Amino acid sequence: SQQGEEDPQALSIQEGENATMNCSYKTSINNLQWYRQNSGRGLVHLILIRSNEREKHSGRLRVTLDTSKKSSSLLITASRAADTASYFCATDGGATGANSKLTFGKGITLSVRP
Amino acid sequence: DAGITQSPRHKVTETGTPVTLRCHQTENHRYMYWYRQDPGHGLRLIHYSYGVKDTDKGEVSDGYSVSRSKTEDFLLTLESATSSQTSVYFCAIRTSGEGSPLHFGNGTRLTVT
């Protein structure tokens, strides 16, 4: 079963606008990660936020985490046409050793119009 | 680039035939994963490995088996392919410790006719 559920499923914005994507999850986590996938390619890691962190920045990316609401948001500021891709959140449940694995959501399709 | 190669990149096969997909890494990382990606389902974990000959099932393991006889290779086998196994298959590795991000290959698009 999916742990993370992204919202919205699809988002279309104009270049220069900000894009906000949300992720909700069900069980406790060790960290939450966001990935990007361009068409026909594998996923690429964007940013990781730990359960004891509330906000993290990386370039034009800003991620927040609210563990009380079991939700995270990814903000892309000043979007560019090249940001067009699918975005996934993934949760790490904190299992150690052999059970260390990520659970992915279904993804959000972002289209940035030039 | 974490040095992950998936082969083949594309394959068309008939129902009932066995199929093996290969994931090769160049850096001897311990953890390797096989996911499938389908519209409306996102990525779902099939099997994973935490060392040579150490593997375990993910959430959608039925109809699949894996082997890891060498650190660098993780093989996914469909014993008798079915149309429901038409999908894009991704291999991923973890290059740091537990909880660290995954690095993905570029996928294998498998069509079962």
Establish whether the linkage from the previous residue to B8 is cis, with ω within 30° of 0. yes
Per DSSP, the residues of chain A read: --S-EEE-SEEEEETTS-EEEEEE-SS--SEEEEEEE-TTS-EEEEEEEETT-SEEEETTEEEEEETTTTEEEEEE-S--GGG-EEEEEEEE----GGG--EEE---EEEEEE-
The partner residues of A43 in beta bridges, in order of sequence, read A37
Tell me the residues of chain A between 49 and 78 that have a Cβ less than 8 Å away from chain B. Answer: none
Interface membership of A28 toward B (CB under 8 Å): no
Q: d(Cα B83, Cα A77) in Å, to the nearest integer?
A: 41
pLDDT digits (tens, 9 = 90+) for B51-109: 999 999 999 999 999 999 999 999 999 999 999 999 999 999 998 877 789 999 999 99
Contact B42 A99 (CB under 8 A): no
Average pLDDT across chain A, whole number: 91
Contact flag A2-B33 (C-beta cutoff 8 Å): no
pLDDT band at A3 (very low <50, low <70, confident <90, very high): low
Tens digit of pLDDT for each residue in A18-71?
Answer: 999 999 999 888 899 999 999 999 999 999 999 999 999 999 999 999 999 999
